Amino acid sequence: MSDPDPSRPATRTGPLAEEAAVVAAAARGDRSAFAQLMEHYQGACYGLAWRLLGDPDLAADATQDAFIHAYDHIGAYRGGVFRSWLLRITANASYDILRRSQRRPTTALPEPDEGQADIADPRAVNPVAESARAELYRALDAALRLLPEDQRVAVVLCDVYGMDYQEVAESIQSPIGTVKSRIHRGRLRLRVLLADQRELFEV
Amino acid sequence: MSMTTRAHPDPERLAALAGADPDVLSDRELIDHLADCATCDGQVRDLRVLRTALAELPDLVPSRPLRLLPPVPEPQAAAGWRIAFRRAFAPLAVAGMVLLLVGGVGATGALGPADAGAFLQRLQVAAPAAMEAATGQPEETATDAGMAPDEMASPEGTRGQTGAMATDPPRAADATAAPGESMAEVIGGSDTGRDGDLAAAEDRAGWILGALAGIGLLGLALVLRRSAAPIDRGLSGR
């Protein structure tokens, strides 16, 4: 597994300006409006897919599948947070690929010099803090990849992307009790994995 | 019993508490334990910090450019006529082949020998009468009498033959050629023969037209097939 992103965005994508109007236009068949939405959220969708699948190419495939599904079903979108709707579609597409691939993602840690996430952005207000935060994100992603697949999927959907238990259960088609157990065990395991990097959390 | 001797709760419940799971938020025993157990309380704090950090994980830039839109679907109407064209290809091609085959055989084989036979038959019957009309004596009589050509040309012979011809009933009366039909008329076609030839020619023209129609249908089928070809490419590729 390789780090997919040498220039990862520092933050998460927020809502698009006048998003409701753009979504409504896309639902009416305005292809340029739909493209605008996908361009805006492709980083969020790809990030979710990559964290679920652990492979850049598979993640791109899953994101592409999600876009096509969203295009076909945007008429069924009934309001709410568009980002969450799109992320649920991406999660389903990723989980479909995960089940089809039937291969366990590699668990090797990324190379220390891989990517540029640990290089300070000179435009940042506090380059040192930004660099430390980037290092924390790298450590978190590396630890996530060390989780068993079922726990990783549940933790990513719930703790990283904010889905509630019910949404996670629907995405991975498992009982809520099973989902809760996987999330809790995943958190505990992550804590152990990151125990020797506690200083990263003090940023 | 002191708090320190109390058994620690299931770690999964601590993880659930860190996630603000409603099932454990109302668990007074768990809350009381955390108030007295620094180990468990520290574990919950760590888990909360971990969750906060996880929730801040940034988005990622895709590893390759993504197609933001699916390909433009082919208009339904266009797809409809393409499907209709594809479905029409086989019947048109078969019909064209049949017409071409039947028309071709009819124009070149079936009627040709028949017409030739009828033409020769009329020629055999009408030729003596035409010769008799031209020479003034039956051609067969002179031949059957074994007369030499110079004898036949003598005035007596000629007169005799002329007289005999004048008294004999016309031989052509029992033949298919009409009485008095000349060789030129037979060759060029008597009224009856010309009508027959015209009818045969019309029949032949019908067969030829049928064959031409078959060729036309085949061409149309091929044109339709070519017109419907893009939908095959569209379905096979993606």
pLDDT of residue A108: 42
Between the ranges A2-6, A78-82, A193-197, B69-73, where is the mean pLDDT highest? A193-197
pLDDT of residue A31: 93
Q: Which residues of A touch B58 (CB under 8 A)?
A: 8-12, 47, 137
Residue at token pair 């085949």: B218
Does B63 sit within 8 Å of A5, measured CB to CB? yes
Contact A28, A119 (CB under 8 A): no
pLDDT at A5 over 70: no
B75 touches chain A (CB under 8 A): no
Tell me which residue in B53, B60, B66 faces A67 most closely, judged by beta carbons: B66
Nearest to B158 by CA among B171, B144, B141, B173: B141
> Considering the entire predicted model, what is its pTM?
0.57
A187 touches chain B (CB under 8 A): yes
Residue of B nearest to A13 (CA): B59
pLDDT per residue rounded down to tens, chain B (238 residues): 444 446 899 999 999 999 999 889 999 999 999 999 999 999 999 999 999 999 999 999 998 899 888 877 666 666 677 777 778 888 888 888 888 888 888 777 655 555 555 655 665 666 566 556 555 555 444 444 444 444 444 444 444 444 444 444 444 444 444 554 455 554 555 556 667 677 777 777 888 888 899 899 888 888 888 777 654 433 333 2
B17 touches chain A (CB under 8 A): no
Q: How many C-beta atoms lie closer than 10 Å to residue B177's C-beta?
A: 26
Tell me which residue in A13, A67, A187 faces B18 most closely, judged by beta carbons: A187
Tell which CATH architecture fits domain A14-105. Orthogonal Bundle (1.10)
pLDDT of residue A123: 52
Does B56 sit within 8 Å of A155, measured CB to CB? no
Mean pLDDT of A115-139: 69
Alpha carbon distance A153, A53 (integer Å): 9
Using alpha carbons, list the distances in angstroms from residue B4 to B31, B36, B38: 14, 7, 10
| Comparison of pLDDT for A140 and B206, the residue scoring more | A140
Take residue A136 and report the two structure tokens written for it. Answer: 């924390």
Helix (H) or strand (E) holding A71: helix A56-73
Question: What is the rounded end-to-end Cα distance, in angstroms, of chain B?
Answer: 72
Q: Which residues of B touch A181 (CB under 8 A)?
A: 12
CATH topology of domain A109-203: Arc Repressor Mutant, subunit A (1.10.10)
Alpha carbon distance B161, B155 (integer Å): 10
pLDDT of residue B171: 46
DSSP single-letter state for residue A3: -
| Comparison of pLDDT for B211 and A142, the residue scoring more | A142
Contact A70, A52 (CB under 8 A): no
Taking the CA of residue B76 and the nearest CA in chain A, the distance in Å comes to 15
For residue A160, the SS3 value is helix
pLDDT at A82 over 80: yes
A contact residues 93-132, partner B, Cβ 8 Å cutoff: none
Alpha carbon distance B197, B108 (integer Å): 15
Residue A99's contacts (CB-CB under 8 Å, 6 or more residues apart) are none
Residue B205's contacts (CB-CB under 8 Å, 6 or more residues apart) are none
Alpha carbon distance B108, B119 (integer Å): 16
Q: Which residues of B touch A180 (CB under 8 A)?
A: 16, 21
In degrees to the nearest 10, what's the CA dihedral of A176, A178, A183, A187? Answer: 150
Per residue, the 3-state secondary structure of chain B, as one string, reads CCHHHCCCCCHHHHHHHHCCCHHHHCCHHHHHHHHHCHHHHHHHHHHHHHHHHHHCCCCCCCCCCCCCCCCCCCCHHHHHHHHHHHHHHHHHHHHHHHHHHHHHHHHHHHCHHHHHHHHHHHHHHHHHHHHHHHHCCCHHHHHHCCCCHHHHCCHHHHHHHHHHHHHCCCHHHHCCCCCCCCHHHHHHCCHHHHHHHHHHHHHHHHHHHHHHHHHHHHHHHHHHHHHCHHHHHHHHCC
Does A31 sit within 8 Å of B60, measured CB to CB? no
For chain B, domain boundaries: 3-55, 78-139+169-236
pLDDT of residue B78: 62
A140 touches chain B (CB under 8 A): yes
Q: How many C-beta atoms lie closer than 10 Å to residue B81's C-beta?
A: 14
The size of the A-B interface in CB pairs under 8 A is: 129
The ipTM estimated for the assembled molecules is: 0.83
Question: Where do the CATH 1.10.1740.10 domains begin and end in chain A?
Answer: 14-105
Tell me which residue in B21, B43, B51 faces A159 most closely, judged by beta carbons: B51
A90 touches chain B (CB under 8 A): no
pLDDT of residue A146: 95
Q: Which residues of A touch B46 (CB under 8 A)?
A: 191
B11 touches chain A (CB under 8 A): yes
Tell me which residue in B57, B59, B70 faces A13 most closely, judged by beta carbons: B59
Does A160 sit within 8 Å of B54, measured CB to CB? yes
Residue at token pair 């309380």: B41
B61 touches chain A (CB under 8 A): yes
Taking the CA of residue B70 and the nearest CA in chain A, the distance in Å comes to 6
Nearest to A159 by CA among B47, B13, B121: B47
Residue at token pair 């430390």: A132
pLDDT of residue A197: 92
B50 touches chain A (CB under 8 A): yes
Does B59 sit within 8 Å of A187, measured CB to CB? no
Burial profile B141-150: b = 16 or more Cβ within 10 angstroms, e = fewer: bbeeeeeeee
